[in-house]
Amino acid sequence: MQKKSLPADVEDKRTKVSVEQRSLKNTATSGYHSMYDSMGVDNSFNLDEFKKNFKIKIISMDENDMVFEMIGIDAALANVFRRIMIAEVPTLCIETVYFNDNTSIIQDEILAHRLGLIPLKVDPRLYEYREPDADYNEVNTLMFKLIAECTRKSGSKDTDPLHEKYNFTRVYSKDLVWEPVSDQSDTHAENPPRPVHDDILIAKLRPGQKIDAVCYCAKGVGSDHAKFSPVSTASYRLLPEITFKEPVTGADAKALVDLCPMDVFDIEDLGKVKRAVVKNPRNCTMCRECIRSEEWNKKIKLQRVKDHFIFSVESTGMYRPEEIFEESIKIFMNKLAQLKKDIEQAVNINSSNK
């Protein structure tokens, strides 16, 4: 038996956000199972239907950035992954700093804060969370030392620039030296812990000034402090959909191509007629330039597909971007498992009380 479908205009409102000149329409989702009962359509969630429609497509990916599409899910679920990537995927960062000496012009607490913000290239999956009163050990702590003293270089001349005349006129992240604890040298034999970037400026020193500090790294998540977040940005947008209400040809087609600042449109040469076509719909930022006037608004329809999300993930370098997404899936699955366990426990308690 063929499944009954909604009328075309209702289906369009259900699946698309309409971008008008000054507002948005049809932004709400239609997850309620009996929403279309009066039309004889069952809107209940169907797992088989979900599996058939759900897709993930990687658009581009390199060491630090990834763009991918997630198709066939609700906005609430897409936002779950975005929030987990930002706030719940753990990393290791400098958490506690002990200063043996600091005669720089930067106060201890400011310098400790700057050190904490340096992203570290180390796999946090090899470490455990450290309890507040627990001792530092090889499974919950990573240690770095920073010893930098501004001293004159041998053989330098008075006329030389400062950076050629003195050592450590600028202290960079590369000056952090990893100190293995217990068997960590074996654990990290192939990939020693280090700052992601060597050229992060920590402080400037002048002759006689010195920094001598021991830094202890802890495992944490972005919801505790932003320094633990593995991403610079993790965002998504809905897939743009641009259609023509009527053909745009001739001089109008050329005007439309020139009007769009994002190179969305192009001209298709059909011999006698030149017609405007949508060339790069994903470039569209919904700036509305193409529907700003009433004349163009009658010819062009701007929409966004409600269940088609384009994710952009920019890693700070602690993980590769695809690893961040993979970790977010694992965390979400653990949350679901815990929720299922809590529900079953609540049902059992309720049954035993009857």
pLDDT band at 354 (very low <50, low <70, confident <90, very high): low
Measure the CA–CA gap between 12 and 209, rounded to whole angstroms: 68
Which pLDDT score is estimated for 349? Answer: 84
Distance between terminal CA atoms of the chain? Answer: 44
> What DSSP assignment string belongs to 164-182?
HHBTTSEEEGGG-EEE--T
Average pLDDT over residues 308-312: 96
Q: What letters, b where the CB count within 10 A reaches 16 and e where it falls short, cover 246-277? A: eebbeebbeebbeebeeebbebeeeeeebbbe
Which pLDDT score is estimated for 8? Answer: 87
> What DSSP assignment string belongs to 15-36?
HEEEE-SS-EE--S----TTTT
Q: Which of 25-34, 83-92, 187-196, 223-232 shows the lowest mean pLDDT across its residues?
A: 25-34
| pLDDT digit string, tens, across residues 25-64 | 988 887 677 788 888 888 788 888 889 999 999 999 999 9
Which pLDDT score is estimated for 161? Answer: 86
Which pLDDT score is estimated for 3? Answer: 61
Averaged pLDDT score across all residues of the chain: 92
Other residues' Cβ atoms within 10 Å of the Cβ of residue 9: 8
The CATH number of the domain covering residues in 91-228: 2.170.120.12
| pLDDT digit string, tens, across residues 3-28 | 678 888 888 888 899 999 999 998 88
Residues β-bridged to residue 149: 210
Measure the CA–CA gap between 254 and 252, rounded to whole angstroms: 5
For residues 115, 116, 122 and 127, what is the CA-based torsion angle, rounded to 10 degrees?
130
Q: What angle do CA 272, 275, 279 make, to 5 degrees?
A: 140
Which pLDDT score is estimated for 1? Answer: 40
Q: Which of 56-70, 157-171, 233-247 shows the lowest mean pLDDT across its residues?
A: 157-171
Query: Is 132 strand, coil or helix?
Result: coil
pLDDT at 81 over 70: yes
In single-letter form, the type of residue at position 278 comes to V
Which pLDDT score is estimated for 45? Answer: 82
DSSP 8-state secondary structure symbol assigned to residue 272: S
Average pLDDT over residues 212-221: 96
**Which one, of 163, 172, 213, 220, lies nearest residue 194 by Cα?**
172
Average pLDDT over residues 307-335: 95
| pLDDT digit string, tens, across residues 113-153 | 999 999 999 999 999 999 988 899 999 999 999 999 999 99
Average pLDDT over residues 284-308: 93
Which pLDDT score is estimated for 121? Answer: 94
Instruction: Give the domain ranges of the chain.
Output: 91-228
Which pLDDT score is estimated for 80? Answer: 96
Residues β-bridged to residue 120: 195
pLDDT at 232 over 60: yes
